Amino acid sequence: MLKLNYSGFPLEVGTDEAGRGCLSGPVVAAAVILPEGFSHPFLTDSKQLSEKKREEVRPFIEENALAFGVSFVWQEEVDQINVLQASITGMHRAIDALKIIPEFIIVDGNKFKNYKEIPHETIVKGDAKYLSIAAASVLAKTYRDDYMKKIHKEFPMYNWAKNKGYPTKEHRNAIREFGATDYHRKTFRLLPEHIKLKV
């Protein structure tokens, strides 16, 4: 059973990101403040939910949250600042996008930087422990998946609609055959072997 609150502050925001381990596309982060008494029958860590379930729960989160924000850190910026900094930057920007200033921040994982003067706590596997982080994980994942499906139409040979930019065998074989696109992260090891990619 996921808990609704960690800190005791009513305006507690949960934040999470999606896409850290991908070879292409942005890192997407979300931040969600849930109201007292919020519950949903199957809301949990987005990785535990099917794509259909995530798409079903997303509008419920958006309609019932006190506030939510979503941000995209594009692949060029991921390359410039590295993926960990991109995750933290994305979470900060998602909190920036909230229409309510939170009193406390809970973060999925074990790395974060101070956000303004607001206290925070990092929670390993927080998306499987707290509803607001689980809600943020669902928003981050669904917004990112929607974007990857959109750019799939431009480059169908990589099958981003299915693999969402993760390093599947099929995705790597397509990079081997067609090279990298502007959507690929150039600082990531796109192929296991050391070959020069045509960009």
DSSP per residue over 107-161, as a string?
A: EESS----BTTB-EEEETTGGGTBHHHHHHHHHHHHHHHHHHHHHHTT-GGG-HH
Say whether pLDDT at 13 is over 80.
yes
Q: How many CA atoms lie within 13 A of 34 on its CB side?
A: 25
Across-strand partners of 130? Answer: 3
Quick one: average pLDDT of 95-119?
A: 98
Quote the pLDDT of residue 198.
Answer: 52
Quote the pLDDT of residue 195.
Answer: 52
Task: Check: CB of residue 140 under 8 Å from CB of residue 18.
Answer: yes
SS3 89: helix
Quote the pLDDT of residue 194.
Answer: 52
SS3 6: coil
Say whether pLDDT at 136 is over 60.
yes
What's this model's pTM, rounded to 2 decimal places? 0.94
- Name all domains of the chain by residue range, CATH numbers in brackets: 12-147 (3.30.420.10)
Task: Check: CB of residue 26 under 8 Å from CB of residue 147.
Answer: yes
Confidence band for 86, pLDDT divided at 50, 70 and 90: very high
Quote the pLDDT of residue 68.
Answer: 98
Say whether pLDDT at 196 is over 90.
no
Quick one: average pLDDT of 69-86?
A: 97
Say whether pLDDT at 193 is over 80.
no
- Across the beta sheet with 120-123, what order do the strands follow? 67-73, 27-33, 12-18, 104-108, 120-123
